[in-house]
């Protein structure tokens, strides 16, 4: 079933894109026959299997994003708006469900690059970094991430597309991205990371990624926990202080679910419990942890947030008071 799905994702990208010569880039030509399409599909499957173990979910407080491990000792590349403030505790979640403690490092706010480091000892699954200086328009690429945040039992979601444009600091592709994908990797068809997901453009099929070369050129500054830069729209602003409710969320069957409630947290005091299904937050339907986070960061100390939840056959409203 997964193979058939990849076939149709590839096919859906073919009808409007311009044809390129076979010499323009490896695997850049639009397949002209079923045989060529199957060859491309086979290559996509091969790369997906190879890189899958290193594509991680990232949790920092109640927010969620994606990342990619690029060294055996646990350096993780992500988006700067995901890593946020340096030296914050975070959790890195591997596709097999293994969880590791980590810490946020530096970020370049101007281009939205960020870095984390797994703080537990181990030899971690990782993938090589590629060369984003030799990209070509029309080149096939693979986008992986955890849309809606990490969901237990669901592998990182694959999107296949092509490079639409690029500069030294930006790669634009038509690989669809949604909330939670931020910080996930963009791969070439050699299985090397060439970019990191930053943000959605004017449409879901016009998306911006940070070139891997910028991480390579600023590695020491990022690893040292330095934060610098400004001027990239919303990423230039100091992030609002987020009050941690002490909740971890999951998206199950299109419904947000409370996966975990920390003992002694604001959420526990309000009565939230694991397995509660979230109908709305402050009267708004939510489909990701990021959407809940947007509601939280708009609040200030002393405010409250109303969770409408389903618990079994009972529906109830629970008020979380923000008084840390």
CA distances to 27, 112, 196, 276 from 209, rounded to whole Å, are: 20, 9, 5, 35
CA distances to 45, 91, 105, 181, 228 from 102, rounded to whole Å, are: 30, 6, 10, 19, 21
pLDDT surpassing 90 at residue 224: yes
CATH 2.40.10.120 fits 1-239, yes or no: yes
Tens digit of pLDDT for each residue in 156-175? Answer: 999 999 998 888 889 999 99
Residue from 11, 62, 65 nearest 177 by CA? 65
CATH fold, domain 247-321, is Pdz3 Domain (2.30.42)
The whole-angstrom separation of Cα 289 and Cα 174 is 24
Residues of the chain with CATH 2.40.10.120: 1-239
- Per the DSSP assignment, residues forming a β-bridge with 231 are none
The SS3 assignment for 158 reads strand
Tens digit of pLDDT for each residue in 173-218? Answer: 999 888 889 999 999 999 999 999 998 876 666 789 999 999 999 9
Mean pLDDT for the stretch of residues 296-300: 78
**pLDDT value at residue 27:** 53
Tens digit of pLDDT for each residue in 39-87? Answer: 888 999 999 999 999 999 999 987 889 999 999 999 999 999 999 999 9
Residues of the chain with CATH 2.30.42.10: 247-321
Contact criterion met (CB below 8 Å) for 210 and 229: no
The whole-angstrom separation of Cα 231 and Cα 254 is 35
The whole-angstrom separation of Cα 66 and Cα 6 is 21
pLDDT surpassing 90 at residue 300: no
């Amino acid at each position: 079933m997964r193979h058939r799905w990849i076939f149709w994702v590839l096919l859906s990208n073919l009808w409007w894109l311009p044809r390129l010569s076979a010499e323009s880039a490896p695997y850049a030509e639009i397949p002209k026959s079923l045989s060529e399409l199957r060859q491309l599909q086979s290559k996509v499957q091969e790369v997906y299997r190879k890189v899958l173990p290193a594509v991680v979910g990232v949790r920092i407080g109640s927010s969620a994003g994606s990342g990619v491990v690029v060294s055996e000792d646990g350096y993780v590349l992500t988006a700067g708006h995901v890593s946020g403030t340096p030296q914050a505790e975070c959790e890195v979640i591997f596709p097999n469900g293994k969880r590791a403690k980590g810490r946020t490092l530096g970020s370049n706010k101007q281009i939205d690059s960020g870095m984390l480091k797994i703080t537990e000892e181990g030899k971690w699954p990782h993938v090589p970094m590629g060369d984003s200086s030799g990209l070509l328009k029309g080149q096939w690429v693979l986008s992986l991430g955890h849309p809606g945040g990490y969901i237990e039992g669901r592998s990182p979601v694959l999107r296949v597309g092509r490079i639409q444009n690029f500069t030294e600091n930006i790669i634009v592709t038509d690989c669809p991205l949604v909330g939670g994908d931020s910080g996930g990797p963009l791969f070439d068809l050699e299985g090397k990371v060439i970019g990191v997901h930053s943000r959605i453009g004017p449409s879901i099929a016009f998306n911006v990624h940070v070139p891997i070369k910028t991480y390579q050129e600023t590695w020491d500054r990022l690893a040292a926990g330095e934060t610098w830069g400004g001027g990239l729209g919303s990423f230039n602003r100091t992030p609002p202080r987020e009050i941690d409710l002490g909740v971890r969320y999951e998206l199950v069957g299109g419904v947000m679910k409370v996966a975990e409630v920390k003992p002694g947290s604001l959420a526990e005091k309000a009565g939230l419990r694991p397995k509660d299904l979230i109908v709305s937050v402050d009267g708004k339907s939510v489909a990701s942890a990021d959407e809940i986070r947007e509601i939280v960061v708009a609040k200030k100390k002393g405010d409250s947030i109303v969770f409408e939840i389903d618990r079994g056959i009972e529906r109830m409203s629970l008020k979380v008071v923000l008084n840390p």
